[in-house]
Chain A
Amino acid sequence: MREGVIAYDMERRLTFINPAFERLTGYPADDLREQDFLHHIHHEDRPAILAEWDHLAQGGALRDQEYRVITRSGQTRWCSSSWEPMRDESGRQIGYLGTEFDITERKLAEEAMRLDTDLFQAVLEVEQAVSAAGLDSETVMRAIAERSKGLTGASGAVIESLEGDDLVPLVHIGTEAPRLKVSSSLSGICVQTGELQRCDDTLADTRIPHQLYRDLGIRSILVVPLKDEHRTLGVLKVVSIEAHAFTDRDAKALRLLGGLMGAALAHAAAFETRQSRLEERTSALQESEQRFKQLIDVAQEGIWVADDRGVITYVNQRLADLLGYSNGSLLGRPVYDFIESDSRPAAQRTLTGRALRPGQNQDLRFRRRDGTKLWGLVSASPILGKDGATVGSVGMVTDITERKRTEDQLRRSADRLGMLHDMDQAILAAQSPSEVGRAAMGRIRRMVPCQRCTVVLFDFDRGEAELIAGYSSGAQMASTSYPLGEFSAPEVLQRNSVRYIEDLAGLEDPPPIMRQLLAEGLRSLLSAPLMVEGEVIGEINLASSAPAAFEPEHRDIALEVTSPLAIAIQHARLRQELSYQTGELERKLGERNAALRGATAEVETLLHSVSHDLRAPLRHLMGFSRMLLDDHGSELKPGALHYAERIHQAADRMATLVEDLLNFSRIGRQALLRRGVGLMTLVEDVVDQLRSSADGRVIEWEIDELPTVDCDLALTRVAITELIANAVKFTRPLQRATIRVRAVEVDGQVGIRVEDNGVGFKMAYAGKLFTMFQRLHRPDEFEGNGAGLAIVQRIAHKHGGRVWAESEPDAGATFYLTLGGQQAGQRDSGTGGGAGREAPEVGAEDIPPG
Chain B
Amino acid sequence: MTAPRTRLPADPLTRPVDILLVEDNPLEVELTLRPLRELDAGNRIEVARDGEEALDFLLGRGQFRQRLGAPLPRLILLDLKLPKLDGVEVLRGVRANSRTCVAPIVVLTSSTDPREVAQCYQLGANSWVQKPVRYEEFSRTIQTIARYWLGVNQSPTPAPLPVN
Contacts and interface: CB of A to CB of B under 8 A. Distances in A.
Interface of A: 612, 615-616, 618-620, 622-624, 626-627, 652, 655, 658-659, 662, 666
B10 interface: no
B131 to A, nearest CB: 6
Contact of B134 (A622, A624, A627, A666): A622
B1 interface: no
Contacts of A655: 133-134
Nearest to B113: A612
A618 B133 contact: yes
A622 B135 contact: yes
- Top 5 nearest A-B pairs (CB, nearest first) are A623-B135, A626-B135, A620-B27, A623-B31, A655-B133
Interface string B19-30: 000000101100
B112 A662 contact: yes
Contacts of A615: 110, 131, 133
Given A652-B134, A655-B134, A619 B31 contact: yes
B136 interface: yes
B112 A620 contact: no
Contact of B28 (A620, A662, A666): A620
A620 B31 contact: yes
B136 A626 contact: yes
B34 A616 contact: no
B138 interface: yes
Most buried by B among A620, A624, A652, A655: A620
A571 B131 CA distance: 69
Nearest to A654: B133
B23 to A, nearest CB: 11
B28 A612 contact: no
Contacts of A618: 133
A655 B27 CA distance: 18
Given A619-B135, A622-B134, A655-B134, A612 B112 contact: yes
A619 B131 contact: yes
A619 to B, nearest CB: 5
Nearest to A618: B133
A662 to B, nearest CB: 7
A623 B141 CA distance: 13
Nearest to A648: B135
A793 B55 CA distance: 48
B70 to A, nearest CB: 32
A201 B161 CA distance: 138
Contacts of B31: 619-620, 623-624
15 contacts: A612-B111, A612-B112, A615-B110, A616-B131, A619-B110, A619-B133, A619-B134, A620-B31, A624-B31, A626-B136, A627-B34, A652-B134, A658-B133, A662-B112, A666-B112
B114 to A, nearest CB: 10
B58 to A, nearest CB: 25
A615 B27 CA distance: 13
Contacts of A658: 133
A309 to B, nearest CB: 106
Contacts of A619: 28, 31, 110, 131-135, 138
Contacts of A620: 27-28, 31
Contact of A622 (B34, B110, B111, B133): B133
Contacts of B131: 615-616, 619
A219 B63 CA distance: 140
Nearest to A620: B27
Most buried by B among A616, A626, A666: A616
A624 B34 CA distance: 11
Contacts of B135: 619, 622-623, 626-627
A672 to B, nearest CB: 16
A437 to B, nearest CB: 60
A216 B31 CA distance: 137
A616 B138 CA distance: 11
A619 B34 CA distance: 14
Given A619-B31, A627-B135, A662-B112, 15 more contacts: A612-B110, A612-B112, A615-B131, A615-B133, A616-B110, A618-B133, A619-B133, A622-B134, A623-B31, A623-B135, A623-B138, A624-B27, A626-B135, A652-B134, A659-B133
A314 B138 CA distance: 132
A666 B133 CA distance: 17
B128 to A, nearest CB: 16
B77 to A, nearest CB: 15
Given A622-B135, A623-B138, A626-B135, A616 B28 contact: yes
A626 B27 CA distance: 14
A624 B133 CA distance: 12
A419 to B, nearest CB: 67
A616 B134 contact: no
Contacts of A616: 25, 28, 110, 131
Contacts of B110: 612, 615-616, 619
Nearest to A614: B133
A152 to B, nearest CB: 109
B50 to A, nearest CB: 17
A311 to B, nearest CB: 108
Interface in B24-63: 25, 27-28, 31, 34
A660 to B, nearest CB: 12
Nearest to B132: A619
Nearest to B34: A627
A670 to B, nearest CB: 10
Contacts of A659: 133
A729 to B, nearest CB: 22
A662 B111 CA distance: 11
Nearest to A625: B135
B28 to A, nearest CB: 7
Contacts of B138: 619, 623
Interface in B86-120: 110-112
Interface in B74-92: none
B139 to A, nearest CB: 8
A584 to B, nearest CB: 41
B26 to A, nearest CB: 10
A623 B110 CA distance: 15
Contacts of A662: 112
Contacts of B134: 619, 622, 652, 655
A843 to B, nearest CB: 15
Most buried by A among B31, B111, B131, B136: B31
